[in-house]
Amino acid sequence: MSTPVTCTDTSDALRARMVEELRAKKWIRTQPVADAMGSLAKESFLPGADLALVYSADDTVPVKRNADGHTVSSASAPWLVAHMLEEARIQPGDRVLEIGGARGINAALAAQLVGPAGRVVSVEIDPELVDDARAALAGAGITNVDMRCGDGHYGAADAGPFDAVIVTAQATDLATTWREQAAPGARIVVPLTLLGLSRCYTFQPCEDGGGSWRAERQLLCGFVAMQGDGAHRAERIALPGDAELHVTDALDVAADRVLGLAQGEQKRVWTGVQVARMEPVIPHLDQYLSTRLTPYLRYFGPSGQILDPGGERLSWLGIGHSATATTGALTYVVMRQVDERFHEFGVFAHGPDAGQAAQRLADLVRRWDAEFRGGADAVVHAFPADTPDGSLPPGRVVDRPGTRFVIAQAAR
Ligand SMILES: C[S@@+](CC[C@H](N)C(=O)[O-])C[C@H]1O[C@@H](n2cnc3c(N)ncnc32)[C@H](O)[C@@H]1O
């Protein structure tokens, strides 16, 4: 449990407590990352921000909003900053490329890890933030960060090759330039949205000479969206009951058809598969279903717990629920509270084929429980965009302008 913050806490005390918490939770795993995060006075990069928020291990600090009020830049949450720095395995003397520099906090931490013999190039698309970051870095006496204004989709060709690339805006592609500007054996740590699922991946080059990269671990995360030439179109379809369907990879799904299905009669199937409170298996189930449902969509209910007219205590997750749609049914995973400790997965479907569709998805959830639950994360392979189908390994293929991703999840 976190120690309560008092108004007399100084920056040093709050920072030390944050590092202690990040160590205890294993987000910080090495001494250099602890030293870097323990010595950077973050508040000088975030003028006006509340000191307790600045040093909260779990919170982001909003930095800029657009005209609609949506956050377009923030200082990332320290737990995720620590995770990404650890995953990047930065060594003294390394060259690091950061995409999405914002106010320069992560760049300053990476600068400490590379030391005086190394260099960090940080690309930020917003000129105002670049100016702020440059001033804050200079104020902190940090001289080995090259803060650049530009579209990070193109990397920094003149300054590579890079030993590590850290992307801190939500990407949907592993840009060709990042791979081309990476040194042999480099790591690319990147938050990617594939099939509507946002995960932080650590990609490493495969040794097969085919130019492919592979990520074996993943972590649920969310960043502000990538702007510029790497931005990706996504759609949100408003549904009855304050619900929404998010479509990121099947953009031919017709909104009016889905809406028509959603207004049709509902069928419910309960799977008998339970999940304990705080048991971290839902991202694994989602990833499994994403490799089996075509199209794979995300259904967002009204959020939180509701007692629905059917008498069930339903729980809607803020990260959304796995869903799919055919010409005859809109189908999605739901959760109902069984008791204080357990929820049960179920499936709701609407439309003329709802009965069969709900049974099929419920069977998939049961199969995940019997054969995959508790197994390893899905492995994501990234191949150059011109790789022919015949050269791809088995798995769910997601095509993006620069990359053919193949997602494969092995049974337990
Ligand atoms: C979550 S913030 C980055 C946090 C930051 N690395 C830190 O140290 O706290 C994401 C940033 O990415 C920037 N961004 C979005 N798209 C970009 C692009 N194509 N190239 C460079 N920066 C981009 C945004 O302006 C925003 O400042």
- Residue 126 in contact with ligand 1 by CB distance below 6 A: yes
The residue from 2, 44, 73, 74 that is catalytic is 73
Please report the pLDDT score of residue 152 as a whole number: 98
- Output 310 or 217, whichever has higher pLDDT: 217
Give the model confidence (pLDDT) of 380-390 as tens digits.
999 999 999 99
The answer to whether 73 is a known catalytic residue is: yes
Closest protein CA for atom 14 of ligand 1: 100
From 64, 98, 126, mutation site for ligand 1 pocket: most ligand atoms within 8 A of C-beta: 126
- Residue 129 in contact with ligand 1 by CB distance below 6 A: yes
Residue 7, pLDDT > 80, answer no
Backbone angles phi and psi of 208, in degrees to 5: -85, 0
**Cis geometry, peptide bond prior to residue 47 (ω within 30 degrees of 0):** no
Distances (CA, A) of 64 to 166, 232, 393: 21, 21, 42
Give the model confidence (pLDDT) of 286-308 as tens digits.
999 999 999 999 999 987 778 88
Which band of pLDDT confidence, cut at 50, 70 and 90, is reported for residue 8?
A: low
Report the share of the chain in percent with pLDDT over 90.
89
- Residue 76 in contact with ligand 1 by CB distance below 6 A: yes
- Residue 193 in contact with ligand 1 by CB distance below 6 A: no
Residues β-bridged to residue 332: 323, 348
Average the pLDDT over each of 178-182, 248-252, 315-319 and give the range with the smallest value: 248-252
Ligand 1 atom closest to the CA of 63, numbered from 1: 27
Give the model confidence (pLDDT) of 397-410 as tens digits.
999 999 999 999 98
Average pLDDT score over residue span 30-53:
97
Average pLDDT score over residue span 61-72:
92
Which band of pLDDT confidence, cut at 50, 70 and 90, is reported for residue 217?
A: confident
Average the pLDDT over each of 30-39, 92-101, 245-254, 276-285 and give the range with the smallest value: 245-254
CA–centroid distance, residue 110 to ligand 1 (Å): 15
- Tell me the residue type at 99: I
Residue 71, pLDDT > 70, answer yes
Question: Domain 11-230 classified CATH 3.40.50.620?
Answer: no
Which band of pLDDT confidence, cut at 50, 70 and 90, is reported for residue 90?
A: very high
Which band of pLDDT confidence, cut at 50, 70 and 90, is reported for residue 241?
A: confident
Q: CB neighbours (10 Å) of residue 231?
A: 16
Please report the pLDDT score of residue 18 as a whole number: 98
Residue 2, pLDDT > 50, answer no
From 151, 227, 229, mutation site for ligand 1 pocket: most ligand atoms within 8 A of C-beta: 227
- Residue 152 in contact with ligand 1 by CB distance below 6 A: yes
CA–centroid distance, residue 384 to ligand 1 (Å): 25
Q: In whole angstroms, what is the distance from residue 226 CA to residue 217 CA?
A: 22
Residue 209, pLDDT > 70, answer yes
CA–centroid distance, residue 72 to ligand 1 (Å): 8
- Tell me the residue type at 8: T
- Residue 54 in contact with ligand 1 by CB distance below 6 A: no
Distances (CA, A) of 81 to 23, 67, 105, 246: 13, 27, 9, 27
